[in-house]
Amino acid sequence: EAGVAQSPRYKIIEKRQSVAFWCNPISGHATLYWYQQILGQGPKLLIQFQNNGVVDDSQLPKDRFSAERLKGVDSTLKIQPAKLEDSAVYLCASSSHYEQYFGPGTRLTVT
């Protein structure tokens, strides 16, 4: 069974630029999550999708972050414009009923 796929793996941008991340969940997993992980901290939920609907986006900075999950499968997370404090690892995860599995993550550096 293929795992959660993410791209790109690394991205370096300047502040005020935009960036987009892509995620393909494990086949059949209805729930998809985007997390932000800052060094030394646990993953922080940004947004949770159930199929193509948003379940929780209360911690998503909506003035600069957006996410969508078209057709209930792939998802994209966008940041526009980026700030220095957005430097972090962005993790995508998916789950069926019980367990959650992470993709490899995208390491974003904003200079």
Contact set with another protein (CB under 8 A): 31, 33, 40-45, 48, 50, 55-56, 89, 91, 93, 95, 98-105
Shortest spacing between CB 67 and another protein, in angstroms:
16
Shortest spacing between CB 107 and another protein, in angstroms:
8
| 4 Cα distance to chain centroid | 11
By beta-carbon proximity to another protein, the closer residue of 73 and 81 is 73
The encoded tokens of residue 64 equal: 């600069």
Closest-CA residue to 69 (of 102, 36, 43, 47): 47
Radius of gyration of the chain (CA): 13
By beta-carbon proximity to another protein, the closer residue of 81 and 104 is 104
Cα–Cα distance measured from residue 31 to residue 40, given in angstroms and rounded to the nearest whole number: 26
By beta-carbon proximity to another protein, the closer residue of 61 and 104 is 104
